C-alpha cells in the first residue's frame, strides 16, 4: 500500500531475516514495469474497449507469444474465452437489436402487441412469421376439407348402392381425402421450422437484454433481493415468452380460425340453430375453463412464491456450503429446505385438484354438446344424409380435439402471464445510478485550484473539532490536524510542477458529502477530502465509521445525498418498485456543478473537477481498479480470473501481473498451475490467494485511480510487505485511495484521513498526525505497543506467528471490553462481557457492540483478548463484590 515503515509497529517485517523479500521486490518492480500500460487520455489505456493497440507490446520484453516462460503449460494453443468475447463485444456491441420498452402490465391485451412488435422488429423474422402463419392456415383449411371429402364418398355410395359410378365417386373422394391429408400434414409440420427461429431469436433477445439490464441495475437493487429469486424470475419470464408465442401461433389462432370455418359450414348446411348450439357449447367450455383457470392462477402465484423461496434457500446454502459444513448445519439446512418443499408440495397439490376439476368439466361440456349437435342434425327439417352425419361428427371431433388442449394451453398462458408480471417489473426497474454524459477529462485540472479547497477542509476540520462532543484531547488533536491539513494543502500546491506525479492519476474530491444507505440512518456527515492527481491517501478509523462507504461513492455504487446537477440529474428516474423513493437517499434537486471553483462548492463527489454523477460510468469505472475486502472469483481458472481485470490481456501480461502480486510462485506450485479452476466464488483458494488474484487484476488493469479496501488484510506479514512494495510501485504516477485498519500499511501514504462516526476527525501525513497527538497517534501507539507485546510473546516461546499488529478495531474492542469489565465489576455482574467473548469465539466476524471484525487473524486476536478481558472482569468483579461485602451475587463465570 503506501508502504509499511521500517520504524512502524511492524518494523520487523522488512528485517533481514525475511527470506526472499528483497529478491521478490526486484521481481515485482520489474513485473510492475513490464505490465504497465501507457496511460491514454480519457481512459485507462483503452483496455476496456479492446482498443489498446499494441498495449504492452514493448513492455513484455522477451516474453514470447506462445506462452514460453510464462509458467502456463499447454496453453499456447488454447484461446482465452475472455480474449475472444472481449474482441467480439468490442467489434459488435450490442450483439442483438434493442428491446421495445416493456408493457405496463402483464395482461394479454398489453403482452400480445408487445410480442408482435418483438417479432416484427427484425426483417428476417417477419417473412418467417408470415410463412408459419400461412402454413397454419393451409393446414387448417385442408383439415376442415377432410370431412367434406368423406361426406362425398358416403353420400355417393348411399345414394346409388355399390354401382360403378358410386365406386368411382367414392374412390375420387378417398383420393381427395388422401391429397388433402398430405397437404395438411406437410403444412402443419412446416410451421415449426419457419416459426422456431422467430421464437428462439426473440427469446434470446429477451434473455440478452434482461441479463444486461439486471447487471446494470444498482447495488441497492441487488442487495435488496435474493439472487436465487431474481434468477428464477428471469428464467421463468424468458421461458414464458416462448410458451406464449407457441400458444398463440399453434393453438389460439388455429382454433379460432377452425371454429369460425366449422360454424359457417354447419350453419350453411343445417341452419343457424346448429351454429347456435355449437356456439353455446363453445361458450360454456370457455367460461368453465376461464373460471377454473383463474382459481388455478391464484394458487399458481402462491406456488411461484414458494418455488422462489425454495430455490433461494437452496442457492443460499450452496453458496455458503463451507460455512454450512464448518458449523455442521447440513441437517438444519435440509430441514429449512424441506419446510419450503412441504409448503410447495401442498400448494402444488391444490393446483392438481383444480386441474382435474377443470378437465372433468371440459369433458362433460363437450360430450353434452356433441350429443346435442348430432340430435339437432338428425332432426333437422330438411333431413340429413348419412354423409351429413359423418361430415358433422368429423368436423366437430376435429374442433374438439384442440379444444381439449385449449384448456391446458389457457392454463399455461395464464401461468406465463403471471410469470411475466414479475419479469416485466424487473425490466421496468430503472437504476438509481443514472449514467452521465460527460467523458472523463483526459487531464486533471491544474493543482493550485485545489489548494483553497484543502485549506477549506482544514478549517472545516477545525470547526468539526469544536463541534465534536469529545474530550479536550480530541479537540486539540483536531485543531492540530487542521493545521496539518492546511500545511499539507500548501505542500500539495507547491508541488504542482511535478508533472510525473500528476499526469496519470485522477483527482478525486469529496465536498461536504452526506450519505446514508437509508434515509433513516446517516453514515457520512459532511465528509470532505481530496486526493490530488498522483497522490496516495489513506482513510482509517473505527469499524463502521464509513470508510468503505466513501469508496462506494467514488466508484458510484451509490450516489451521495443532496443536489445533483446537469443532464444526469435531469434524467434521473426512480425504479419501478419505488426503491429510490422509499430510500429517499438520492435527491434529485438540480443545481450547479462547479466542483471547488472559487471555493463555493456544491456538495458531491468530483473526479477531475466533474461531478461524478455527470461522468460516463464506463469511462469512470474503466479508469479505476478496486482491490476489495472480499474478493469474489468466477468459476474459472486462475489464468482467466486474473485476466478478468482486463479481458484482452495476453497470457504473458497475466503472468506478469501474477508475479507483481506475488502469486506466481504459489500458482506454479499447483498441479494444474494457472489452469487450476478456483471453484465456486474462488472457495478453493485461500483468503490471501484470492486477495492476490484481486491485486493481480488491479496490476493488469493499470488504472488511473487505485482503490484498495483492506487489500492485504488476509495476507501474512511477509507477503503483505512484499505486496505493499508492489502496490506502491503500481500507485506510482496514479492516484490511490486506501482503506486500512493496520496503520503500518498506510504510514507511507501522502495523506491519512481519520474518520470517526462518519466525520473527518483528523487529516495529514503520518508525521503530522503523530505530532498532533490526536486519535491517530493514540491508535498508532496502541498498535505499536501491541505489536511489541506480540513480538515479546513470540520471542518467549510463542508460536512465532506475526499477526501484523493490532488494528484500531481491536483497540476499540479492547476499550469496550475494558469498560464493560469495569462496569461489570461495579455492578457485580460480568456476564455481558462473557457473552461477548462467547459470541466472538463462536461467530468470528459478527461484531460486538456494533463493531465488526475484519479478518480471521483479527478474530483470533480478538478472541484471545476477549477471553483475557473476561478473566480480568471476573477478577475485578470478584474484588468489587468482596469490597462491598459480597453482596450482589457476583457471577463471573
Ligand X SMILES: Nc1ncnc2c1ncn2[C@@H]1O[C@H](COP(=O)(O)OP(=O)(O)OP(=O)(O)O)[C@@H](O)[C@H]1O
Which residues in this chain contact ligand X in the complex, by CB under 6 A? 223, 517, 523, 543-549, 852, 854
Q: Which is nearer to ligand X, 640 or 854 (CB)?
A: 854
Least separation in angstroms between residue 585's CB and ligand X is 10
Q: Report the candidate in 513, 552, 553, 505 with the shortest Cα–Cα distance to residue 529.
A: 513
Per-residue buried b or exposed e for 413-440, using 16+ beta carbons within 10 Å of the residue's own CB: bbbbbbbbbbbbbbbebbbbbbbbebeb
Residue 528: its H or E element: strand 524-531
Strand ranges (DSSP E) for 477-523? 508-515
Cβ neighbours, 10 Å, residue 342? 12
Q: What are the Cα distances from residue 675, in Å, to 16, 25, 70, 82?
A: 35, 26, 12, 14
- DSSP lists the bridge partners of residue 755 as 541, 760
Q: How far is the CB of 324 from ligand X (least distance, A)?
A: 24
The least CB distance from residue 551 to ligand X, in Å, is 8
The residue (of 320 and 548) whose beta carbon lies closer to ligand X is 548
User: Which residue reads 389457457 in cell numbers?
Assistant: 410
**Cβ proximity to ligand X, 429 vs 545, nearer residue:** 545
d(CA 604, CA 342): 51
- Of the pair 63, 545, the CB lying nearest ligand X is at 545
Q: Write down how long the chain is.
A: 893
The DSSP output letter for 524 is E
User: From the CB of 582, what's the least distance to ligand X, in Å?
Assistant: 13
591 membership: H or E segment, kind and range: strand 590-591
Residue 223 or 367 with smaller CB distance to ligand X: 223
Closer Cβ to ligand X, 712 or 829, answer by number: 712
Q: Are 738 and 529 in contact (CB under 8 A)?
A: no
Q: How far is the CB of 224 from ligand X (least distance, A)?
A: 9
CA dist., res. 560 & res. 593, Å (int): 14
Please check whether residue 337 is in contact with residue 317, taking contact to mean a CB–CB distance below 8 angstroms: yes
- Which residue, 545 or 691, is less far from ligand X as judged by CB? 545
Q: Would you say 548 or 785 has its CB closer to ligand X? A: 548
**Closest approach of Cβ 861 to ligand X, in Å?**
15
The residues, ordered by sequence, that sit 6+ positions from 106 with a Cβ below 8 Å of its Cβ are: 417, 418, 420, 421, 423, 424
Kindly state the smallest distance separating residue 289's Cβ from ligand X, in Å.
Answer: 47
Looking at beta carbons only, is 547 or 766 nearer to ligand X? 547
Please say which residue, 77 or 520, places its beta carbon nearer to ligand X. 520
CB of 219 to ligand X, least distance (A): 7
Q: What contacts 441, CB < 8 A, 6 or more positions away?
A: 42, 608, 609, 610
Nearer to ligand X, 331 or 521 (CB): 521
DSSP-derived secondary structure for 671-724: TTGGG-B--GGGTTS-HHHHHHHHHHHHHHH--SEEEEESTTTTS-HHHHHHHH
Q: Least distance in Å: CB of 540 to ligand X?
A: 9
* Residue with cell string 408482435: 116
Nearer to ligand X, 300 or 547 (CB): 547
Place of cell 443460499: 316
Other beta carbons within 10 Å of 642:
30
* Residue closer to ligand X, measured from CB, 790 or 854: 854
Report in angstroms how near the CB of residue 528 gets to ligand X at its nearest.
Answer: 17
The DSSP line for 271-330 is: -HHHHHHHHHHHHHHHHHHHHHHHHHHHHHHHHHHHHHHHHHHHHHHHHTHHHHHHTT-H
- Minimum CB separation of residue 544 from ligand X in Å reads 4
Pairing of strands 524-531, 536-541: unpaired
If the CB atoms of residues 427 and 739 are measured against ligand X, the closer one turns out to be 739
Identify the bridge partners of residue 518 per DSSP, sorted by sequence position. 521
Q: Specify the residue, 755 or 873, whose C-beta has the smaller distance to ligand X.
A: 755
> Are 529 and 488 spatial neighbours (Cβ–Cβ below 8 Å)?
no
Q: Residue 503 in contact with residue 443, Cβ under 8 Å? A: yes
Q: What region, left, alpha or beta, does residue 46 occupy, with left being phi > 0 and alpha being psi -120 to 50 degrees? A: left
The CB-of-842 to ligand X minimum distance in angstroms stands at 19
Q: How far is the CB of 736 from ligand X (least distance, A)?
A: 17
DSSP for 52-69, written as a single string:
-TTTTTTTTTT--TT-TT
Question: Smallest gap, in angstroms, from Cβ of residue 813 to ligand X?
Answer: 12
CA–CA separation, 629 vs 76, rounded Å?
Answer: 33
We find the least distance from the C-beta atom of residue 717 to ligand X, in angstroms, to be 20
Amino acid at each position: 500500500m503506501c508502504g509499511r515503515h521500517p520504524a512502524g509497529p511492524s518494523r520487523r517485517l522488512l528485517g533481514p531475516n525475511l527470506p526472499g523479500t528483497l529478491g521478490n521486490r526486484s521481481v515485482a518492480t520489474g513485473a510492475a514495469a513490464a505490465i504497465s500500460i501507457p496511460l491514454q487520455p480519457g481512459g485507462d489505456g483503452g483496455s476496456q474497449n479492446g482498443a489498446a493497440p499494441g498495449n504492452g507490446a514493448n513492455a513484455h520484453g522477451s516474453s514470447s507469444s506462445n506462452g514460453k516462460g510464462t509458467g502456463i503449460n499447454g496453453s499456447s494453443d488454447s484461446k482465452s474465452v475472455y480474449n475472444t468475447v472481449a474482441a467480439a463485444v468490442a467489434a459488435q456491441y450490442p450483439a442483438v437489436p434493442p428491446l421495445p420498452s416493456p408493457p405496463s402490465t402483464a395482461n394479454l391485451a398489453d403482452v400480445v402487441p408487445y410480442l408482435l412488435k418483438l417479432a416484427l422488429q427484425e426483417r428476417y423474422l417477419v417473412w418467417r412469421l408470415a410463412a408459419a402463419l400461412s402454413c397454419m392456415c393451409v393446414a387448417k383449411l385442408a383439415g376442415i376439407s377432410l370431412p367434406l371429402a368423406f361426406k362425398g364418398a358416403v353420400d355417393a355410395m348411399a345414394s346409388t348402392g355399390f354401382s360403378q359410378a358410386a365406386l368411382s365417386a367414392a374412390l375420387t373422394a378417398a383420393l381427395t381425402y388422401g391429397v388433402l391429408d398430405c397437404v395438411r400434414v406437410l403444412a402443419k409440420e412446416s410451421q415449426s421450422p419457419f416459426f422456431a427461429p422467430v421464437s428462439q431469436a426473440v427469446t434470446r433477445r429477451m434473455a440478452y437484454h434482461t441479463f444486461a439490464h439486471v447487471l446494470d441495475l444498482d447495488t441497492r437493487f441487488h442487495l435488496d433481493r435474493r439472487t436465487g429469486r431474481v434468477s428464477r424470475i428471469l428464467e421463468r419470464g424468458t421461458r414464458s415468452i416462448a410458451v406464449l408465442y407457441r400458444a398463440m401461433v399453434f393453438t389460439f389462432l388455429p382454433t379460432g380460425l377452425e371454429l369460425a370455418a366449422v360454424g359457417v359450414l354447419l350453419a350453411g348446411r343445417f341452419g343457424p340453430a346448429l351454429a347456435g348450439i355449437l356456439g353455446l357449447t363453445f361458450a360454456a367450455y370457455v367460461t368453465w375453463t376461464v373460471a377454473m383457470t383463474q382459481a388455478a392462477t391464484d394458487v399458481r402465484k402462491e406456488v411461484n412464491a414458494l418455488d422462489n423461496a425454495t430455490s433461494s434457500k437452496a442457492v443460499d446454502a450452496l453458496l455458503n456450503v463451507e460455512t454450512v459444513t464448518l458449523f455442521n448445519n447440513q441437517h438444519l439446512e435440509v430441514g429449512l429446505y424441506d419446510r419450503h418443499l412441504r409448503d410447495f408440495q401442498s400448494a402444488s397439490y391444490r393446483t392438481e385438484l383444480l386441474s382435474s376439476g377443470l378437465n372433468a368439466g371440459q369433458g362433460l361440456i363437450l360430450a353434452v354438446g356433441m350429443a346435442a349437435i348430432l340430435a339437432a342434425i338428425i332432426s333437422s327439417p330438411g333431413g340429413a344424409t348419412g354423409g351429413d352425419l359423418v361430415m358433422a361428427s368429423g368436423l366437430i371431433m376435429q374442433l374438439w380435439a384442440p379444444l381439449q388442449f385449449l384448456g391446458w394451453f389457457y392454463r399455461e398462458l395464464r401461468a406465463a402471464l403471471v410469470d411475466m408480471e414479475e419479469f416485466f417489473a424487473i425490466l421496468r426497474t430503472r437504476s438509481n445510478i443514472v449514467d452521465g454524459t460527460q467523458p472523463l477529462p483526459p487531464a486533471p485540472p491544474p493543482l493550485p485550484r485545489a489548494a483553497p479547497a484543502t485549506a477549506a477542509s482544514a478549517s472545516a476540520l477545525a470547526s468539526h473539532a469544536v463541534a465534536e462532543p469529545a474530550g479536550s484531547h480530541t479537540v486539540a488533536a483536531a485543531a492540530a490536524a487542521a493545521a496539518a491539513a492546511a500545511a499539507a494543502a500548501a505542500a500539495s500546491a507547491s508541488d504542482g510542477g511535478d508533472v510525473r506525479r500528476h499526469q496519470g492519476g485522477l483527482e478525486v474530491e469529496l465536498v461536504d458529502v452526506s450519505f446514508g444507505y437509508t434515509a433513516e440512518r446517516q453514515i457520512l456527515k459532511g465528509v470532505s477530502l481530496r486526493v490530488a492527481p498522483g497522490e496516495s491517501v489513506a482513510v482509517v478509523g473505527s469499524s463502521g465509521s464509513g470508510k468503505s462507504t466513501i469508496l462506494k461513492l467514488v466508484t458510484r455504487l451509490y450516489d451521495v445525498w443532496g443536489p445533483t446537477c446537469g443532464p444526469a440529474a435531469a434524467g434521473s428516474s426512480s425504479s419501478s418498485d419505488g426503491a429510490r423513493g422509499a430510500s429517499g437517499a438520492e435527491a434529485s434537486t438540480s443545481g450547479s456543478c462547479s466542483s471547488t471553483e472559487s471555493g463555493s462548492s456544491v456538495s458531491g463527489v468530483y473526479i477531475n473537477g466533474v461531478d461524478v454523477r455527470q461522468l460516463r460510468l464506463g469511462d469512470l469505472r474503466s479508469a479505476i481498479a478496486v482491490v476489495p475486502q472480499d474478493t469474489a472469483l468466477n468459476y474459472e481458472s486462475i489464468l482467466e480470473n486474473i485476466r478478468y481485470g482486463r479481458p484482452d490481456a495476453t497470457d504473458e501480461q497475466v503472468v506478469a501481473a501474477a508475479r507483481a502480486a506475488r502469486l506466481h510462485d504459489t500458482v506454479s506450485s499447483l498441479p494444474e498451475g494457472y489452469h487450476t479452476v478456483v471453484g465456486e466464488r474462488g472457495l478453493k483458494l485461500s483468503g490471501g490467494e484470492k486477495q492476490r488474484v484481486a491485486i493481480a487484476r488491479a496490476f493488469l488493469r493499470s488504472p488511473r485511480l487505485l482503490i484498495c479496501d483492506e487489500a492485504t488484510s488476509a495476507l501474512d506479514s511477509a507477503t503483505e510487505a512484499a505486496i505493499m512494495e508492489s502496490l506502491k510501485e503500481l500507485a506510482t504516477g496514479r492516484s490511490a485511495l486506501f482503506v486500512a485498519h493496520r496503520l503500518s500499511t498506510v504510514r507511507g501514504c501522502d495523506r491519512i484521513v481519520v474518520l470517526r462516526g462518519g466525520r473527518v476527525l483528523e487529516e495529514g501525513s503520518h508525521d503530522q498526525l503523530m505530532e498532533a497527538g490526536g486519535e491517530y497517534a493514540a491508535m498508532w501507539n496502541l498498535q505499536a505497543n501491541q505489536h511489541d507485546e506480540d513480538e515479546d510473546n513470540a520471542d518467549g516461546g510463542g508460536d512465532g506467528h506475526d499477526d501484523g499488529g493490532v488494528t484500531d478495531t481491536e483497540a476499540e474492542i479492547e476499550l469496550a471490553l475494558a469498560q464493560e469489565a469495569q462496569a461489570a465489576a461495579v455492578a457485580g455482574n460480568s456476564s455481558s462481557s462473557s457473552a461477548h467473548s462467547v459470541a466472538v469465539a463462536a461467530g468470528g466476524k459478527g461484531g460486538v457492540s456494533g463493531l465488526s471484525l475484519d479478518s480471521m487473524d483479527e478474530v483470533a486476536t480478538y478472541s484471545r483478548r476477549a477471553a483475557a478481558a473476561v478473566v480480568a472482569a471476573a477478577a475485578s468483579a470478584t474484588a468489587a463484590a468482596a469490597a462491598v461485602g459480597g453482596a450482589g451475587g457476583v457471577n463471573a463465570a
